[in-house]
């Protein structure tokens, strides 16, 4: 059986169900690298050019892991645009070339260009072309595309129920689930999916917040139309697909009274984030907001301090005005009037 | 008499205060951590202990700072809190009306905005530590001026020179250039103070509404040059509390008091013998259990493991619970 490797990074988080279904239906076996570990990170940093952002470096680590398996193909799509008049960061455009130049002796790379900024005609043509690597029957390829889209939609629906995209993919594959407890805080948590849903890149952000009793709202948890409507309220349209979703999500969340605060996770080396993080801060007015910047650090202390302080602040704000200052968290919320 | 012990273990300094139930500070100890928080904690405690009499007792312990977990394990803490909350609590007890806190420590700088005595917003430096205590320390050493006199020298300046404060590396090269051109040292030092105050306000205070009363605390508040620079740039009065250097520890002591009084519980403080008699050591080792290669830290007292942290899967952390002690075993041969 033909084996296609898919690195567990970047747009894996957004399109893995599509890709896997497509290749499986055409009779190929899909081999995905394991979730990011410290080893993936170390190897990725060692292999990657030093100017790119952290998630891209980690992706190199995933490719290196796949290199150890016996594969016929490695799937590294050239992501240019996934919707009309919007773009993905230009570094993604060069990704297959960067990989080829930095990592020798890889199996052949499938680097289909995904660019639907003008129309999806060329992508359709290229997909049919790609399918011919696996089957000569065009009808089968068309069916594979149809099924891939259906599975993707199903997984997106799962992701809309408060799961991270990584959890949604696990659920879609029939694996573990996560049960939510009654929250003491509702937080919007935003960031590029490939940073936000990778437990190593995000320095365990999601788990820390959930352990502190927070219910998290991701861009995927929101109605896509609400996000777009909110994103359209700023003077200039953001032409980065992910950036626009973040701005729209942030503005929408900032208008929901039940949301206590918003956290934005940015990568230090990310060009779009350096603007998007600022735009959000200016657009959301009164909602408490915290921008966290991550890079190759591995000490979580700084992250935990900020998260604790943010949650403490929100709890204390919430509890002032109440008769007692006892938070549901079990900790005594400080109040100035109390005498010691 | 009963005291609350507040401990703030920072990257550069380790601070200890003994506070009575009226909020009066009876004793404070300011030590350099010198990269060895374990030693700093036992030294700090033994110094405090020396001045305590038989009938004086510790009724509660609070820890904060980046070494708060370590201190909590070694002393037995009733409350373990992040630095931001601790600093805010300390300042708002001293100045109930305070609206803005500028806190600059060894590695971190923070701005905390309060409304009605509770934290309303805060910011912390991100990846850049320019302008924090360790950078000032380093510059003072380079210029051969003891750090304690650094601020006073700045005040002697008649016309500060302009130094690039955007980045520690730029600031240093700019200072060297100005120095080589013959500008007096005082003017360069004051220029640096202004550059760092500007950098702080641009990076940490970015876009925040700074309102009076304003309190400046943390180790760097000892530097009168920086205080003056803030006053000049903001056009506001900057208050520096008497115990500006141990405010985190004071906050931790207040929080300990609250916890104890509210829960009406006995303290988890481990007692003198535990802290002073045992030999504490910390060992770290890369766990080889999986590809995550977590750097696991083990805190030991006389060879017995007290705590583990740093492991993602919590295998080591949970191994200390009596039921599972055998399961993981103390096989981490460290």
Distance CA A195, CA B229 (A): 39
Q: Token pair for residue A156?
A: 């997106």
Same domain, B183 and B316: no
CA nearest to A324 within chain B: B262
Interface test with A, best of B119, B250, B262, B290 (most A CBs within 10 A): B119
The CATH number of residue A188's host domain is: 3.40.50.11900
Same domain, A210 and A126: no
User: Would the CB atoms of B207 and A281 count as touching at under 8 Å?
Assistant: yes
The CATH number of residue A118's host domain is: 3.40.50
Measure in Å the smallest separation between the Cα of A319 and chain B Cα atoms.
10
pLDDT in tens, chain B (334 residues): 789 999 999 888 899 999 998 889 988 999 988 888 888 998 999 998 888 877 888 899 999 998 898 899 889 999 999 999 999 999 989 998 999 999 998 888 899 999 888 888 888 887 666 678 888 888 889 888 998 888 899 999 988 998 887 777 888 888 889 889 999 999 999 998 998 898 888 888 887 889 989 999 998 999 999 999 999 999 999 999 999 999 999 999 999 998 888 888 888 888 888 888 888 888 888 888 888 788 888 888 888 888 888 887 778 888 876 554 444 444 444 4
Q: Does A47 fall in a domain?
A: yes
A269 prior amide bond cis, ω within 30: no
User: Would the CB atoms of A308 and B258 count as touching at under 8 Å?
Assistant: no
Res B130: pLDDT: 66
The secondary structure of residue A119, as a DSSP letter, is -
CA nearest to B116 within chain A: A336
pLDDT at A334 over 50: no
CA gyration radius for chain B?
A: 22
User: Would the CB atoms of A336 and B93 count as touching at under 8 Å?
Assistant: yes
User: Would the CB atoms of A334 and B255 count as touching at under 8 Å?
Assistant: yes
Please report, for residues A305, B76, B248, B259, the alpha-carbon distance to residue B267 in angstroms, rounded to integers and kept in the order given: 24, 8, 20, 9
Same domain, A41 and A82: yes
3-state helix, strand, coil in chain B (%, to 5): 40, 25, 35
How many domains is chain A partitioned into structurally? Answer: 2
Averaged pLDDT for residues A223-244: 94
Distance CA B286, CA B295 (A): 4
CA nearest to A325 within chain B: B262
Question: Could you say which of A308, A320, A334 has the minimum Cβ distance to residue B116?
Answer: A320
Structure confidence by residue, pLDDT tens digits, B161-188: 988 877 778 888 888 898 899 999 999 9
Interface test with B, best of A313, A317, A335 (most B CBs within 10 A): A313
Measure in Å the smallest separation between the Cα of A187 and chain B Cα atoms.
15
Question: Could you say which of A37, A281, A313 has the minimum Cβ distance to residue B122?
Answer: A313
Same domain, B178 and B286: no
Q: Token pair for residue B172?
A: 């240093």
Res A111: pLDDT: 94
User: Would the CB atoms of A309 and B96 count as touching at under 8 Å?
Assistant: no
Same domain, B137 and B81: no
Q: Which domain holds residue A89?
A: 3-159
Q: Does A272 fall in a domain?
A: yes
Name B62's Cβ contacts closer than 8 Å, sequence gap at least 6. B4, B5, B6, B7, B77, B78, B79, B80, B81, B86, B251, B252, B253, B254, B255, B256, B257, B259
User: Would the CB atoms of A305 and B82 count as touching at under 8 Å?
Assistant: yes
The secondary structure of residue A157, as a DSSP letter, is H
Same domain, B37 and B158: no
Is B142 at the interface with chain A, CB within 8 A?
A: no
Q: Does B152 fall in a domain?
A: yes
CA gyration radius for chain A?
A: 21
**What are the helix (H) ranges across chain A?**
12-25, 38-47, 54-67, 95-102, 121-131, 138-159, 165-172, 193-196, 205-211, 224-231, 241-254, 271-283, 301-319
Helix (H) or strand (E) run with residue B144 in it: none
Q: Token pair for residue A170?
A: 């696990």
Same domain, B35 and B103: no
Name A79's Cβ contacts closer than 8 Å, sequence gap at least 6. A10, A11, A88, A92, A93, A95, A114
**β-strand pairing of B214-217 with B295-301:** unpaired
Same domain, A61 and A103: yes
Distance CA A148, CA A30 (A): 14
Distance CA A24, CA B230 (A): 64
User: Would the CB atoms of A37 and B291 count as touching at under 8 Å?
Assistant: yes
Q: Does A331 fall in a domain?
A: no
Q: Report the candidate in B214, B252, B233 with the shortest Cα–Cα distance to residue B103.
A: B214
Structure confidence by residue, pLDDT tens digits, A169-191: 999 998 876 677 778 999 999 99
CA nearest to A297 within chain B: B127
Averaged pLDDT for residues A143-159: 95
Q: Which domain holds residue B107?
A: 96-240
Q: Does B149 fall in a domain?
A: yes
Same domain, B201 and B125: yes
Interface test with B, best of A37, A295, A321, A340 (most B CBs within 10 A): A340
Distance CA B48, CA B52 (A): 7
Same domain, B61 and B116: no
CA nearest to A282 within chain B: B207
Q: Does B199 fall in a domain?
A: yes
Measure in Å the smallest separation between the Cα of A251 and chain B Cα atoms.
18
Coil, helix or strand for B101? strand
Same domain, A23 and A131: yes
Angle value at C-alpha A36, between A35 and A37, nearest 5 degrees = 115
Same domain, B125 and B202: yes
Confidence of residue A329 (pLDDT cuts 50, 70, 90): very low
Same domain, A133 and A201: no
Q: Does B59 fall in a domain?
A: yes
Distance CA B150, CA B144 (A): 10
Same domain, A231 and A293: yes
pLDDT at A324 over 70: no
Q: Does B198 fall in a domain?
A: yes
In DSSP notation, A254-284 reads: HT-TT--EEEEEEETT-HHHHHHHHHHHHHS
The secondary structure of residue B274, as a DSSP letter, is I
pLDDT at A336 over 60: no
Same domain, A190 and A264: yes
- A268 CB neighbours in chain B (<8 A) are 127
Same domain, B170 and B141: yes
Q: Are A12 and A22 in contact (CB under 8 A)?
A: no
Same domain, B289 and B272: no
Is B261 at the interface with chain A, CB within 8 A?
A: yes
Q: Does A52 fall in a domain?
A: yes
Same domain, A108 and A193: no
Is B119 at the interface with chain A, CB within 8 A?
A: yes
Res B128: pLDDT: 67
Segment 145-184 of chain B within 8 Å of chain A by CB: none
How many domains is chain B partitioned into structurally? Answer: 3
Q: Are A222 and A253 in contact (CB under 8 A)?
A: yes
Distance CA A12, CA A64 (A): 16
Q: Does B204 fall in a domain?
A: yes
- A42 CB neighbours in chain B (<8 A) are 293
Distance CA A325, CA A329 (A): 11
Helix (H) or strand (E) run with residue B186 in it: helix B185-203
The secondary structure of residue B158, as a DSSP letter, is S
Distance CA B235, CA B157 (A): 19
User: Would the CB atoms of B291 and A338 count as touching at under 8 Å?
Assistant: no
**Which of B228-235's residues contact partners 24+ apart within 8 Å by CB, and which partners?**
B228/B154, B228/B155, B228/B190, B228/B193, B229/B190, B229/B193, B229/B194, B229/B196, B229/B197, B229/B198, B230/B102, B230/B197, B232/B194, B233/B194, B233/B197, B233/B198, B233/B201, B234/B201, B234/B210
- A282 CB neighbours in chain B (<8 A) are 207
Name B266's Cβ contacts closer than 8 Å, sequence gap at least 6. none
Q: What is the largest CA-CA distance in chain B?
A: 70
User: Would the CB atoms of B258 and A332 count as touching at under 8 Å?
Assistant: yes
- B96 CB neighbours in chain A (<8 A) are 336
B54 by Cβ neighbours in 10 Å (0-12 / 13-18 / 19+) ranks as exposed
B13 bridge partner residues? B32
Measure in Å the smallest separation between the Cα of B322 and chain A Cα atoms.
23
pLDDT at A11 over 50: yes
- A291 CB neighbours in chain B (<8 A) are 126
Segment 75-104 of chain B within 8 Å of chain A by CB: 79, 81-85, 89, 92-93, 96
Q: Report the candidate in A130, A220, A228, A245 with the shortest Cα–Cα distance to residue A167.
A: A220
Same domain, A7 and A135: yes
Helix (H) or strand (E) run with residue B284 in it: strand B280-286
Distance CA A85, CA A66 (A): 33
Same domain, A200 and A314: yes
Q: Does B333 fall in a domain?
A: no
Res A147: pLDDT: 97
Q: Does B334 fall in a domain?
A: no
Coil, helix or strand for A292? strand
Res B127: pLDDT: 63
The CATH number of residue B50's host domain is: 3.30.420.40
Segment 209-238 of chain B within 8 Å of chain A by CB: none
- B82 CB neighbours in chain A (<8 A) are 304-306, 308-309, 312
User: Would the CB atoms of A313 and B119 count as touching at under 8 Å?
Assistant: yes
Same domain, B148 and B230: yes
Cβ count near B256 (within 10 Å): 30
Same domain, B69 and B170: no
Q: Does A125 fall in a domain?
A: yes
Coil, helix or strand for B246? helix
CA nearest to B261 within chain A: A340
Question: Could you say which of A38, A309, A331 has the minimum Cβ distance to residue B84?
Answer: A309
Measure in Å the smallest separation between the Cα of A65 and chain B Cα atoms.
12
Q: Does A166 fall in a domain?
A: no
């Amino acid at each position: 059986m033909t084996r296609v490797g898919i690195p567990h990074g970047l747009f894996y988080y957004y399109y893995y169900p599509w890709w896997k279904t497509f290749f499986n239906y055409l009779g190929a076996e899909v081999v995905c690298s394991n979730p990011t570990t410290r080893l993936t990170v170390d190897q990725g940093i060692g292999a990657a050019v030093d100017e790119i952002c952290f998630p891209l470096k980690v992706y190199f680590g995933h490719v290196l892991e796949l290199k150890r398996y016996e594969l016929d193909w490695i799937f590294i799509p050239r992501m240019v645009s996934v919707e009309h008049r919007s773009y993905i960061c230009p570094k993604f455009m060069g990704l297959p070339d960067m990989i080829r130049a930095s990592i020798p002796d890889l199996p052949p790379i499938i680097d289909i260009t995904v660019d639907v900024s003008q129309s999806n005609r060329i992508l359709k043509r290229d997909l049919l072309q790609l399918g011919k690597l696996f089957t000569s029957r065009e009808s089968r390829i068309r069916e594979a595309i149809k099924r891939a889209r259906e599975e993707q939609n199903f997984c997106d629906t799962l992701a809309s129920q408060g799961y991270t995209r990584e959890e949604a993919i696990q659920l879609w594959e029939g694996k573990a689930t996560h049960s939510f407890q009654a929250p003491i805080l509702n937080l919007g948590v935003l960031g590029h999916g490939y940073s936000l849903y990778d437990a190593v890149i995000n320095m365990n952000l999601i788990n820390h917040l959930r352990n502190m009793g927070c219910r998290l709202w991701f861009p995927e948890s929101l109605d896509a139309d609400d996000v777009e409507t909110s994103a359209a309220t700023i003077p200039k349209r953001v032409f980065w697909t992910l950036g626009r979703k973040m701005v729209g999500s942030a503005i929408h969340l900032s208008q929901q009274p039940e949301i206590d605060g918003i956290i934005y996770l940015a990568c230090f080396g990310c060009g779009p984030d350096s603007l998007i993080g600022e735009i959000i801060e200016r657009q959301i007015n009164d909602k408490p907001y915290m921008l966290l910047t991550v890079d190759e650090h591995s000490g979580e202390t700084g992250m935990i301090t900020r998260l604790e302080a943010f949650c403490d602040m929100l709890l204390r704000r919430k509890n002032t005005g109440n008769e007692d200052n006892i938070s549901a968290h079990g900790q005594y919320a400080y109040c100035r009037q109390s005498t010691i | 008499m009963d005291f609350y012990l507040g401990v703030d273990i920072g990257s550069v300094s380790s601070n200890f205060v003994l506070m009575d139930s009226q909020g009066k500070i009876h004793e404070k100890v300011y030590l350099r951590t010198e990269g060895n928080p374990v030693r700093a904690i036992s030294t700090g405690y033994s110094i405090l202990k020396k001045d305590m009499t038989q009938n004086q007792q510790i009724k509660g312990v609070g820890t904060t700072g980046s070494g708060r977990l370590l201190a909590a394990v070694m002393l037995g803490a009733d409350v373990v809190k992040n630095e931001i909350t601790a600093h805010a609590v300390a300042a708002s007890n001293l100045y109930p009306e305070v609206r803005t806190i500028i806190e600059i420590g060894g590695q971190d700088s923070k701005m905390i905005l309060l409304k009605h005595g509770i934290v309303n917003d805060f910011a912390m430096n991100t990846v850049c530590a320019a302008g924090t205590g360790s950078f000032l320390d380093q510059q003072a050493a380079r210029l051969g001026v003891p750090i304690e006199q650094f601020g006073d020298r700045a005040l002697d300046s008649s016309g500060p020179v302009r130094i690039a404060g955007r980045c520690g590396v730029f600031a240093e090269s700019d200072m060297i250039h100005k120095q080589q051109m013959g500008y007096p040292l005082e003017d360069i030092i004051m220029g640096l103070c202004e550059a760092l105050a500007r950098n702080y306000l641009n990076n940490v205070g970015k876009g925040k509404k700074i309102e009076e009363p304003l309190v400046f605390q943390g180790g760097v508040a000892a530097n009168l040059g920086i205080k003056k620079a803030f006053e000049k740039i903001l056009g506001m009065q900057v208050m520096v509390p008497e115990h500006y250097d141990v405010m985190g520890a004071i906050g931790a002591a207040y929080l300990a008091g609250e916890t104890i009084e509210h829960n009406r519980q006995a303290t988890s403080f481990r007692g003198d013998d535990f802290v002073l008699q045992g030999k504490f050591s910390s060992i770290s080792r890369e766990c080889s259990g999986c590809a995550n290669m977590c750097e696991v830290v083990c805190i030991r007292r006389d060879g017995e493991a007290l705590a583990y942290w740093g492991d993602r899967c919590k295998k080591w952390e949970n191994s200390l619970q009596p039921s599972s002690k055998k399961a993981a075993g103390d096989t981490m041969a460290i």
